[in-house]
Amino acid sequence: MNLFKTIPDFYKRIRRENIGSVVTEIFVARAQDFWVVQVGGGDGVTEDPVRASILKHRWKGVIAEPNPSTFKRLTESYSEVDNVTTANVAIATHDGKATLYCLEEIDHLPPWATGLASFNLDVLLRHQELIPDVCLKDHVVEKEVDCITFTRLLEDYAIKKANFVQIDTEGYDFEVIKMIDFDAVKPDILRYEYVHLNAADQEAAATFLKDRGYALVKEDVWNMFCYRDSIKVRLTASCHLFALAAKEAIRKVVDRFKLGRKLTTAYRAKIEPAILKQLYVKSILKSKPLQCSAENQLELHSLVCKNDVLLALWSFKTFAYFSEIDISLVLHEDGSLDESDIRTLKKHFPGVRIIRYADAASRMREHLADYKNCTQLRYHKRLFWHGMKLLDLATYSDRQRIMVIDPDVLFFKRPTELLECLASETAFFNGNGISCYDLSSDAIARVFPAPMIPAVNSGLYCVPADIFRDLDLIDSIIGRYLEENGDFDKWAEQTFFAGLISKLAEKEEVRRLSPDYALFMVDGRDAPGVVFFDSSLLDKTSVHFCWNSHWHAVERRGIPLLRSRGIHKKLIHV
């Protein structure tokens, strides 16, 4: 197989299959609000080309469906969606009434056929060859429906713009296109069903749209995808599509020549992540800075190493984007950051306070002089960062409450529950699904002064800072821990944190965030709040990626998930 021949072949197929989604992402990223007008909405589920995007990206708009019985199902399918409105009308050249030809809802019809409706009976009957077991002519019903013009639809439902116009009217599509005032509305994207147009109307519709600056792509034998053409859009789309084609072509070559487990593993471990990092992960460097004034009410702390620099940009910017909160940011670096990393962080977070490792090490040695167990944790050869996270953060804060977000936590939608906790000053923490502590339950009872809350995760929390300032208590807990365990293990910091908030819970409310604030792991026991498959992440508010190499998890799972929702583009253009 010739790779140079394969990639162009793959590119043609992938362009045809993906041009719609890629171009749509480009225009979605540019728009503050994205509005859709769907003419011929069907039941809102069956073979609906825009439903997934309406739900995923919360597009606003209106969906028109003239058939009353189909409209009832449409309304039910969007009953819990408040960002779109449904309209039981047909779009026509005039306001008034018209005869609509529909099919009776009988058992032998496939689901997609129950939504068929057209002003033209011949178009309806053309589906006969697709449903050979039923004589369609015997099941046609005529319904008198309300009609309004396209302009009236926009006026009646206060639609100021239509970024995406989706048309499926069984042969009436060109008439609807001609009703659009392209000078006023200027849709970015228009998709229509061309298969029921005669040859002359197909050509006329294509010419009509090309004359108004649209590029046309046949998605399949049914639909035409059109978008406002420009060199920038073409180049951006071509880069995305070529990357997809190249990636698939390389995989085909690997499989074709059976290069063996080691080489395949090397590809997946190094080459594929490198492609992802160059194309997507580093794209956050194009995003606008996030102002982090020290005067902002919410002070956010995080421990950052060299591998976390890009992750930190994604983490804190997704949080700020969805929470719409102005943050004061304090980053504690572990000694691995160089001057280039510092410049990057300061460029993207103007006003950020970066605590350099050498400065913190000197200050904390003096601060912990009377606490030998705390000192032992803070300056442990392997796990010193456990001590930094447990002891440094509150030391470098004068706030009453301290919030922590690890750089491997990404946000995918508005964190409503978290914001409610912040507003009410209720302490909260992220659940861990399973208890990851260093000690047995019996040892925990001997070490900690309060019953331990199970399954605590220390990657996302907000608590009173004073629980970290009681060094007498913390030193005694660490001392008893060492008596039980001998040395510090990998869950030391999380174990101590769980013990401290368990004691806090005796005095005030401490809330465990719902499983909507999830953890992502590649193995382990199944438990609430712990997810192992990409598809289960789609509806989460935030995800803490808990691989040992957590940056690989974010790059391979988190960033592609953000990309699938178009969130990464919104961050870059926000």
Whether the per-residue pLDDT at 319 is higher than 70: the answer is yes
Residue 16 lies in a domain: no
Closest CA to 319 of 355, 343, 349: 349
Q: State yes or no: pLDDT of 3 exceeds 50.
A: no
Cβ neighbourhood burial of 471 (10 Å; 0-12, 13-18, 19+) = middle
Whether pLDDT at 410 is above 50: yes
- Most confident of the ranges 34-43, 108-117, 370-379: 370-379
222 against 493, higher pLDDT: 493
As a whole number, mean pLDDT of residues 245-254 equals: 67
Residue scoring higher pLDDT (43 or 174): 174
Predicted pLDDT of residue 88: 93
* pLDDT recorded at residue 124: 82
Structure confidence at residue 219 (pLDDT):
79
Q: Are residues 182 and 297 in the same domain?
A: no
Neighbouring-strand partners of residue 145? 98
pLDDT tier at 15 (50, 70, 90 boundaries)?
low
Q: Are residues 309 and 433 in the same domain?
A: yes
DSSP H or E run through 38 = strand 35-39
Q: Quick one: pLDDT at residue 495?
A: 94
Kindly report the number of other CB atoms within 10 A of residue 329's CB atom.
26
Band (4; pLDDT cuts 50, 70, 90): very low
pLDDT confidence of 276, banded at 50, 70, 90?
Answer: low
Mean per-residue pLDDT over the chain, rounded? 84
Radius of gyration of the chain (CA): 29
Write the pLDDT tens digit of every residue in 447-463.
Answer: 998 999 988 999 999 99
pLDDT at residue 111 tops 80:
no
Which has more pLDDT, 413 or 136? 413
pLDDT by residue (tens digit) across 124-137? Answer: 888 777 776 678 88
Confidence grade of residue 523 (pLDDT, cut at 50, 70, 90):
very low
Confidence of residue 50 (pLDDT cuts 50, 70, 90): confident
* Residue carrying structure tokens 């009832």: 72
pLDDT of 11 over the 70 cut? no
Q: Is the pLDDT of residue 261 over 60?
A: no
User: Does 313 lie in the same domain as 438?
Assistant: yes
The closest of 66, 73, 64, 38 to 52, measured between CA atoms, is 38
pLDDT at 121: 87
Choosing from 187, 212, 237, the residue where a domain stops is 187
Same structural domain for residues 178 and 302?
no
Q: What is the pLDDT of residue 529?
A: 41
Q: How confident is the model at residue 257 (pLDDT cuts 50, 70, 90)?
A: low
Lowest mean pLDDT among 205-209, 237-241, 395-399: 237-241
Q: Is the pLDDT of residue 537 over 70?
A: no
**262 within domain boundaries:** no
How confident is the model over 72-97, as pLDDT tens digits? 989 988 888 888 999 999 999 989 99
Q: What is the CB neighbour count within 10 angstroms for residue 398? A: 7
Residue 208 lies in a domain: no
Q: Are residues 174 and 294 in the same domain?
A: no
Helical packing angle, 471-485 and 492-504, nearest 10° = 130
| pLDDT, position 266 | 57
Does residue 223 sit within a domain? Answer: no
**Token pair in block for residue 320:** 């700020």
Query: Bigger pLDDT: 307 or 459?
Result: 459
Mean pLDDT computed over 287-303: 92
Q: List helix spans (H) across 31-102.
A: 51-57, 68-77
Q: Is 207 among the domain residues? A: no
Asked whether residue 502 is domain-assigned, the answer is: yes
Q: Give pLDDT, residue 528.
A: 40
Which pLDDT value is given to residue 43?
85
Per-residue pLDDT band for 521 (boundaries 50, 70, 90) equals low
Mean local confidence (pLDDT), 530-536: 45
Amino acid (one-letter) located at 404 = V
Cα angle, residue 157 at apex, residues 154 and 158 outer, rounded to 5°: 75
| C-beta separation of 421 from 413 below 8 A | no
**pLDDT > 90: what percent of the chain?**
45
Where among 187, 210, 239 does a domain terminate? 187
Reported as a single tens digit per residue, the pLDDT across 471-514 is 999 999 999 999 999 899 989 999 999 999 999 999 999 999 98
What secondary structure letter does DSSP report for 95?
A: S
Query: What's the CA gap between 361 and 336, in Å, rounded?
Result: 14
The pLDDT of 157-164, averaged and rounded, is 88
pLDDT of residue 183: 86
Instruction: Decide if 239 is inside a domain.
Output: no
Higher pLDDT, 428 or 264: 428
Count of domains forming the chain: 2
CATH number at residue 379: 3.90.550.10
The model's confidence at residue 566, banded by pLDDT at 50, 70 and 90, is: confident
Residues 293 and 170 in one domain: no
Q: How confident is the model at residue 402 (pLDDT cuts 50, 70, 90)?
A: very high
Residue ending a domain, among 187, 203, 236, is 187
Mean per-residue pLDDT, 98-116: 77
Helix residue ranges, H only, 161-223:
173-179, 199-210
181 within 8 A of 213, measured Cβ to Cβ: no
Provide the pLDDT for residue 538: 63
Looking at residue 352, the DSSP 8-state letter turns out to be -
Domain span at residue 421 reads: 289-514
Let me know whether 318 and 174 are in one domain.
Answer: no
Q: Please give the average per-residue pLDDT across 509-530, as a whole number.
A: 67
Beta bridge partners of 91: 148
Residue of 153, 147, 148, 115 whose CA lies nearest to 35: 153
What's the distance, Cα to Cα, between the start and end of the chain in Å?
A: 43
Q: Give mean pLDDT, residues 431-440.
A: 83
- Which strands make up the sheet holding 530-531, listed edge to edge? 409-411, 542-545, 517-520, 530-531
Task: For residue 19, give both structure tokens.
Answer: 């041009």
CATH for 49: 3.40.50
3-state SS string for 217-242: EECCCCEEEEEECCHHHHHHHHHHHH
**Nearest Cα to Cα of residue 464 among 418, 401, 521:** 401
pLDDT category of residue 391 using cuts at 50, 70 and 90: very high
Cβ contacts of 449-454, under 8 Å, gap ≥ 24: 449/473, 449/477, 449/499, 449/503, 450/499, 450/502, 450/503, 450/505, 450/506, 451/502, 452/498, 452/499, 452/502, 453/498, 453/501, 453/502, 453/505, 453/510, 453/512
401 sits in which H/E element:
strand 401-405
Task: Say whether both 167 and 316 belong to one domain.
Answer: no
Q: In this structure, is residue 217 part of a structural domain?
A: no
